[in-house]
Amino acid sequence: MKLSIIGTGYLGATHAAAMSSLGFEVIGIDVDPAKIELLRAGKVPFFEPGLEELLLQEVNSGRLKFSTNFADAKNCEIHFICVGTPQQKGSLAADLKYVESAVDAIAPHAKAGSLVVGKSTVPVGTAARLAQQLVELGSPAELAWNPEFLREGFAVEDTLRPNRLVVGVTSDRAENLLKLAYKPLLDNGVPWIRADLATAELVKVAANSFLATKISFINAMAEICETTGGDVTVLAKAIGYDPRIGSRFLQAGIGFGGGCLPKDIRAFMARSEELGAQQSLEFLREIDSINLRARQRMIDLVRLDLDEDLKGRKIAVLGAAFKPDSDDVRDSPALDISDQISKAGGAVTVFDPKANANASLRFPHLTYAASIEACMSGAEIVLHLTEWKEFRAIDPIKAKSLVARANIIDGRNALDREAWERAGWHFRALGRATR
């Protein structure tokens, strides 16, 4: 079977390399010639553990090719649409222009009997509209939806060993074709769920809404702990032992960011309003504001430690990516906090093991250090904002000799508090009383 992957960002590049590694002939298509050039050379334009090795292996095998020309996909049985659906400027809704133009571009080349399969996250009802778009364009291809649940940092693992495969289809033929494409995964026991188009679209936003809710729940508990002298890390551990609750995604801190969770819950709210069902998702507004409040609470702690005076104060920020093992800085809480502190007059120096370059493109006014040591040097306060393992491995005794004042705030509740306090640091964390 021949497959095309339209859009070669995090999702598409990973899907292309993964499907090729299953033995299919794959053509990755993107409108960005620079990106295609890199991918052809076996280079990944972003940091994702394990992906470059897999990509290079597949390009060298001859199964995986890349092109900017949609006509090169004409013999494919399945066309996977993996383009972005970012938040629209000035609105909560998702911007669907890339999905729509991908369908427009592939329609004249998709052969009879082929499938156009959306993997992008879209508002419910989009797939049905795109199916109609195919008909109006005179395309013989059939539309299906197959949401993707991959996490950045684990993209290859999540694509080759997903915890479920969900397909929204309108015919047995479409389901069978997709089963063939995913046969190696199904043979490994991955659960298969057949749904209608609307349910398949909803599964993705429901899953991300649930995850966002879990994080904001524990961050709301962190707020309560701060006013009552409790410790949210102990609370999370204790409730997490109940298997109905589970311990994952209960890490309190500066909250969620990235290219998915924030925009997906906002797009879901916007869509529910269009549908007249806003009441059902009203709680997501609160999830969003708890999440943004966590960033503000972090800034409040910095102000407290610096006696409300940020002007010219040397502040070291450890972390720029929205999460570790990624160089993605989209809606990164770490950078939002750094930016706000800098705008209030703070002299902010940021270090991230992988995301300095991306961060400096978006926030050129911040200073970027080339190492942990350079970042901390002379600082009056250190903020731990992305929980890279490199930061957990910092020796607090050595680090103390670098800074002007041994103040640290753990915005991710991931550092060994006892070790830092033993070394003489004044240690604060979100959701934990200061000793």
Active site residues: 260
* C-alpha pair distances (Å), 153 with each of 15, 323, 327, 399: 14, 8, 9, 28
Which amino acid type is present at position 350?
A: V
CB count, 10 Å around CB of 373? 14
Instruction: Convert residues 257-296 into a mask of x (bound to ligand UDX by CB under 6 A) and - (unbound).
Output: xx-xx-----------------------------------
> At its nearest, how many Å lie between ligand UDX and the CB of residue 368?
20
Query: According to CB under 6 A, which residues from 318 to 337 bind ligand UDX?
Result: 322-323
Instruction: Convert residues 115-154 into a mask of x (bound to ligand UDX by CB under 6 A) and - (unbound).
Output: ----------------------------------xxxx--
End-to-end CA distance of the chain: 62
Alpha-carbon gap, residue 16 to 332, rounded angstroms: 27
Q: Does 165 bind ligand UDX (CB under 6 A)?
A: no
Query: According to CB under 6 A, which residues from 179 to 238 bind ligand UDX?
Result: 208, 211, 215
Q: Does 251 bind ligand UDX (CB under 6 A)?
A: yes
With respect to ligand UDX, which residue has the nearer C-beta, 152 or 339?
A: 152
With respect to ligand UDX, which residue has the nearer C-beta, 47 or 256?
A: 256
Q: Which stretch binds ligand UDX (CB under 6 A): 55-63, 72-80, 110-118, 247-255?
A: 247-255
> At its nearest, how many Å lie between ligand UDX and the CB of residue 166?
12
Backbone angles phi, psi at 171, to 5 degrees: -155, 155
Q: Which stretch binds ligand UDX (CB under 6 A): 103-111, 188-196, 253-261, 403-411?
A: 253-261
Q: Which stretch binds ligand UDX (CB under 6 A): 15-23, 125-133, 190-198, 246-254?
A: 246-254
Q: Quick one: which of 118, 123, 168, 253 contacts ligand UDX (CB under 6 A)?
A: 253
> At its nearest, how many Å lie between ligand UDX and the CB of residue 141?
25
Q: Quick one: which of 245, 249, 367, 374 contacts ligand UDX (CB under 6 A)?
A: 249
Q: Does 239 bind ligand UDX (CB under 6 A)?
A: no
Pick from 23, 37, 27, 28: which is nearest to 10 by CA? 28
> At its nearest, how many Å lie between ligand UDX and the CB of residue 168?
16
With respect to ligand UDX, which residue has the nearer C-beta, 133 or 413?
A: 413
Backbone angles phi, psi at 61, to 5 degrees: -70, -20
Place of tokens 């970042």: 375
With respect to ligand UDX, which residue has the nearer C-beta, 42 or 240?
A: 240
State whether residue 150 is helix, strand or coil: coil
Pick from 355, 401, 397, 350: which is nearest to 372 by CA? 350
Alpha-carbon gap, residue 101 to 281, rounded angstroms: 29
Which sign does the torsion angle of CA 120, 123, 128, 134 carry?
negative
With respect to ligand UDX, which residue has the nearer C-beta, 147 or 396?
A: 147
405-431 burial, b at 16+ Cβ within 10 Å, e below that, comes to bbbbbbbbbbbebeebeebebebbbbb
Q: What is the DSSP string of 173-227?
A: HHHHHHHHHTHHHHHTT--EEEE-HHHHHHHHHHHHHHHHHHHHHHHHHHHHHHH
With respect to ligand UDX, which residue has the nearer C-beta, 177 or 211?
A: 211
Q: Are 294 and 333 in contact (CB under 8 A)?
A: yes
Alpha-carbon gap, residue 14 to 17, rounded angstroms: 5
- The residues near 233 (Cβ < 8 Å, ≥ 6 apart) are 252, 413, 429, 431, 432
With respect to ligand UDX, which residue has the nearer C-beta, 70 or 255?
A: 255
> At its nearest, how many Å lie between ligand UDX and the CB of residue 208?
6
Alpha-carbon gap, residue 22 to 25, rounded angstroms: 9
> At its nearest, how many Å lie between ligand UDX and the CB of residue 27?
24
> At its nearest, how many Å lie between ligand UDX and the CB of residue 334?
9
* Per rule CB under 6 A, count of chain residues that contact ligand UDX: 19
With respect to ligand UDX, which residue has the nearer C-beta, 118 or 258?
A: 258
Q: Are 320 and 386 in contact (CB under 8 A)?
A: yes
> At its nearest, how many Å lie between ligand UDX and the CB of residue 218?
7
Alpha-carbon gap, residue 311 to 343, rounded angstroms: 9
Contact residues: ligand UDX, CB under 6 A: 149-152, 208, 211, 215, 249-251, 253, 255-258, 260-261, 322-323
